[in-house]
C-alpha cells in the first residue's frame, strides 16, 4: 500500500519509506490511501497479539520490502501482553492495561515496532543511523529501550535538565552503549528546537543519516491499532457487544490508532478523548475553531500538548466538523479532579492509577448515566503508576509496587552529558563520545 501526506495526496510513499522518513517532505503526516476491511470473525480466540498484528498490518506493508518480515517484526515487538481487565462490581467497565512493556507505558508498542522495522531497513551495508529524540518523559525512555543494543543505530536522547521527574530521568539515563542521553540546559521546547535544527542542517545530514522516531511516525501509530483490535475482539467474543474506549490523550496518536482500528472494521463503538487542562481539542469540538496554544504543565505530564500534531490525521479522515463530532467526543480534566480520581479509584475499586489513566476514569464518571449503562466501556491505561509514584503515593497513602521491568531499569547505573541548548554543543558532545555515527 502507498501512504499519502495529509497536506498533498499526490505525495506518496511506501511503508518502509514512510517509516524511515517520519515526516512527509512537505511537513504533512503520512496516512493510508486505502482502508482494507477486516472480518472480525476471521480471528480466533487463541490468536496472540503478535499474530493479530501480523494479519492486521499485512495489507499496509503489502508490496514493500519489509512485508515478508512482518510476522517476525510483530513477534519481536509485541512480546508482552495487553490484557483487558474487568473492574469488579458486575459492571460494564474494564481497563486495557498497556503498561506491561519494558518501560511500563504504551509507547513501548510503537517504539519497539518502529525499532524492529528500522533495524531491518538499515541492513549491514547502510550508513549508520542516528535517532534524535527530544523528550519530556515517556517517549525518550521507550525509544531508548527499543533501540538499545541494535547494531548500526545510535540514539541521542535530549531532555531538559532538571525538568523531568527523578523516576523519568533514571529511565532516560540508564542505557549506555549505543544510547546516549543529554541533559540540555534549557526547556523541552529547546530540546525540540535542537532536533529540528539538526534535521535542517546540511552538515549534519552529510555526516549522518538522521531519523526522529517521534510520535508522528506512521511506524509508531499503526502498531497501536493492534491492541485496540485485540481488545475489541476479546470484548466482542465475551459479551457480543462492541467496546467503547476512553483514551487519555495528548498528541492524539493513541486515539487516532483506535479510530483507525474502528475504520478497519473492528467492533469498536464510541471513542472518548480524555484530556488534561490542555483543552485545545475539547474546545475545538465545542466551538469548531482550531486554536492551538502553548502547553500548560499538569500532573498528567505526558499529555501536556497545546498543539496536537495528530489532529491533522483526524481531519484527513473526517474533513467535515460534523463528521469529527460524530466520530469522537472529548472532555478536559484539571489537576484537582485528577487527584480526586486517583484517591477514589484506590478507595472504591482498589485500583492504583497513574495520572493519565485517572484522567480517563474521570471522563468515564462524567458520562451521562444512560451512556455509561448502554456501553461496554474500556478505560485505556497508558502507564504504570510506579512511573509517577511521586504523585500517586501521597494521594493513596501507600507505596506503589514497582514492576520487575522498571526495577531492572532503576538498578542500572545512570550516565548523561550536560550540554548547552545549541547545535554546536550537541555536535561536539556526539563527536567525542563512543558514538558510532561520526
Ligand X SMILES: *Cc1c(COP(=O)(O)O)cnc(C)c1O
Q: Which residues touch 63 (CB under 8 Å, ≥6 apart)?
A: 1, 14
Nearest CB to ligand X, comparing residues 183 and 281? 281
CB of residue 32 to ligand X, shortest distance in Å: 18
Shortest distance in whole angstroms from residue 98 CB to ligand X:
9
DSSP, res 388: G
φ/ψ (deg, to 5) at 274: -100, 110
Shortest distance in whole angstroms from residue 371 CB to ligand X: 22
Task: Tell me how far CA of residue 435 lies from CA of 33, 119, 131, 134, in angstroms.
Answer: 39, 17, 12, 18
> CB of 277: closest distance to ligand X in angstroms?
14
| Beta carbon of residue 354, minimum distance to ligand X (angstroms, whole number) | 6
Residues that bind ligand X (CB under 6 A): 105, 107, 138, 215, 248-255, 302-303, 356, 382-383
Q: For residue 96, give the nearest of 105, 85, 107 by alpha carbon.
A: 85
Supply 129's cell numbers.
543511523
The stretches of 29-133 forming alpha helices (DSSP H) are: 49-61, 70-77, 107-122
We find the least distance from the C-beta atom of residue 144 to ligand X, in angstroms, to be 14
Nearer to ligand X, 130 or 382 (CB): 382
Beta carbon nearer to ligand X, 64 or 108:
108
Query: Cell 471513542 belongs to which residue?
Result: 271
Nearer to ligand X (CB atom), residue 299 or residue 419: 299
Q: Quick one: 53 or 250, whose CB is closer to ligand X?
A: 250
Q: Which residues contact 328 (CB under 8 A, 6 or more apart)?
A: 255, 259, 271, 272, 273, 285, 314
Q: How many CA atoms lie within 13 A of 313 on its CB side?
A: 28
Distance between CA 384 and CA 357 in Å, rounded? 9
Q: Which is nearer to ligand X, 211 or 224 (CB)?
A: 224
Amino acid at each position: 500500500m502507498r501512504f499519502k501526506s495529509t497536506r498533498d495526496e499526490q505525495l506518496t510513499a511506501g511503508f518502509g519509506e514512510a517509516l524511515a522518513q517520519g515526516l512527509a517532505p512537505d511537513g504533512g503526516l503520512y496516512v493510508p490511501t486505502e482502508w482494507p476491511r477486516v472480518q472480525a470473525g476471521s480471528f480466533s480466540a487463541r490468536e496472540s497479539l503478535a499474530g493479530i498484528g501480523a494479519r492486521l498490518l499485512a495489507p499496509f506493508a503489502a508490496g514493500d520490502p519489509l512485508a515478508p518480515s512482518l510476522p517476525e517484526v510483530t513477534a519481536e515487538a509485541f512480546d508482552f501482553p495487553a490484557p483487558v481487565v474487568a473492574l469488579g462490581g458486575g459492571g460494564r467497565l474494564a481497563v486495557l492495561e498497556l503498561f506491561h512493556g519494558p518501560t511500563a507505558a504504551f509507547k513501548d508498542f510503537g517504539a519497539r515496532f518502529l525499532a524492529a522495522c528500522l533495524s531491518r531497513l538499515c541492513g549491514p551495508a547502510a550508513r549508520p543511523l542516528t535517532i534524535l529524540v527530544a523528550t519530556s518523559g515517556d517517549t525518550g525512555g521507550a525509544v531508548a529501550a527499543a533501540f538499545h543494543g541494535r547494531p548500526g543505530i545510535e540514539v541521542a536522547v535530549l531532555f531538559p535538565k532538571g525538568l523531568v521527574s527523578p523516576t523519568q530521568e533514571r529511565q532516560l539515563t540508564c542505557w549506555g552503549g549505543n544510547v546516549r542521553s543529554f541533559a540540555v540546559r534549557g526547556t523541552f521546547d529547546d530540546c525540540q528546537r535542537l532536533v529540528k535544527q539538526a534535521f535542517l542542517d546540511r552538515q549534519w545530514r552529510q555526516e549522518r543519516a538522521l531519523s526522529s522516531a517521534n510520535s508522528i511516525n506512521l511506524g509508531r501509530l499503526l502498531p497501536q491499532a493492534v491492541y485496540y483490535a485485540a481488545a475489541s475482539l476479546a470484548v466482542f467474543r465475551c459479551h457480543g457487544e462492541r467496546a467503547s474506549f476512553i483514551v487519555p490523550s495528548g498528541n492524539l496518536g493513541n486515539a487516532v490508532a483506535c479510530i483507525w482500528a474502528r475504520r478497519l472494521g473492528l467492533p469498536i463503538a464510541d471513542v472518548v478523548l480524555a484530556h488534561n487542562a490542555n483543552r485545545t481539542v475539547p474546545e475545538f469540538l465545542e466551538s469548531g475553531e482550531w486554536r492551538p496554544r502553548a502547553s500548560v504543565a499538569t500532573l498528567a505530564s505526558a499529555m501536556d500538548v497545546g498543539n496536537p500534531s495528530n489532529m491533522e490525521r483526524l481531519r484527513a479522515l473526517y474533513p467535515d466538523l460534523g463528521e469529527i463530532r460524530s466520530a469522537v467526543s472529548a472532555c478536559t480534566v484539571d489537576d484537582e479532579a485528577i487527584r480526586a480520581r486517583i484517591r477514589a479509584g484506590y478507595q472504591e475499586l482498589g485500583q492504583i492509577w497513574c495520572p493519565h489513566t485517572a484522567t480517563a476514569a474521570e471522563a468515564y464518571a462524567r458520562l451521562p448515566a444512560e451512556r455509561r449503562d448502554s456501553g461496554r466501556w474500556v478505560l485505556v491505561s497508558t502507564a504504570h503508576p510506579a512511573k509517577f509514584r511521586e504523585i500517586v503515593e501521597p494521594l493513596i497513602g501507600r507505596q506503589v509496587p514497582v514492576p520487575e521491568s522498571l526495577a531492572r531499569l532503576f538498578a542500572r547505573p545512570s550516565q548523561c552529558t550536560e550540554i548547552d541548548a545549541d547545535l554546536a554543543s550537541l555536535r561536539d558532545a556526539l563527536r567525542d563520545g563512543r558514538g558510532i555515527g561520526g
